[in-house]
């Protein structure tokens, strides 16, 4: 077993134990849904948020690149963090820090289009992280965020339903 595989194996074991102990404290059995780190295709996992630390948006109000030394695998993607504290914060409540709409731009979704957002054009709205295609789209969204977010949600549900069919 080479060193890289050993590191991944070790990280998976430690995280599994962490997940199990968290599940024990909540009284829930650990399931595939509530385990944070997953091992499938860990080496080839897609990098989430273009490698930006999604906890940093909340903690520092800045877009900060993460690094590979603090990476984890969550929901089949590799997530980078700028420090151990942010990684541990993410592990406690990953859904809080995952960008909404799978990183797609909420303004474009409100217009019925599915365009990927960019981590450098972001907003935290009502304690949720959103990536926008451009700063212009983010500003347009802010002008009527409540209504546009409702439209984005409706269109996202429709697009997700079509994807499953």
- Looking at residue 20, its pLDDT comes to 45
Question: Could you list the residue range(s) of the whole structural domain that residue 128 is in?
Answer: 100-164
Domain count, the chain: 2
**What global pTM score does this model have?**
0.74
**Co-location of 84 and 24 in the same domain:** yes
**Co-location of 67 and 109 in the same domain:** no
**Co-location of 85 and 106 in the same domain:** no
Strand order from edge to edge, sheet including 67-74: 46-47, 77-81, 67-74
- Looking at residue 161, its pLDDT comes to 80
- Looking at residue 36, its pLDDT comes to 54
Q: What is the mean pLDDT of each run of 10 residues along the chain (165 residues)?
A: 52 48 41 44 83 98 96 95 97 96 96 96 96 97 95 92 74
Using the 3D structure, point to which of 93, 112, 130 is the last residue of a domain: 93
């Amino acid at each position: 077993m080479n060193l890289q595989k050993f590191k991944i194996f070790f990280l998976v074991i430690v995280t599994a134990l962490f997940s199990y102990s968290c599940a024990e404290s909540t009284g829930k059995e650990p399931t595939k849904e509530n385990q944070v780190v997953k091992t499938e295709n860990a080496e080839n996992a897609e990098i989430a948020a273009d490698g930006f630390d999604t906890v940093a948006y909340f903690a520092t109000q800045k877009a900060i690149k993460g690094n590979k030394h603090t990476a984890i695998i969550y929901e089949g993607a590799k997530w980078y963090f700028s420090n151990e504290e942010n990684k541990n914060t993410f592990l406690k409540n990953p859904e809080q820090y995952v960008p909404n709409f799978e990183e797609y731009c909420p303004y474009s979704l409100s217009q019925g289009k599915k365009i990927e957002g960019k981590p450098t054009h972001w907003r935290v709205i009502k304690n949720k992280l959103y990536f926008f295609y451009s700063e212009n789209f983010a500003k347009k969204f802010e002008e009527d965020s409540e209504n546009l977010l409702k439209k984005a949600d409706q269109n996202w549900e429709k697009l997700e339903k079509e994807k499953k069919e």
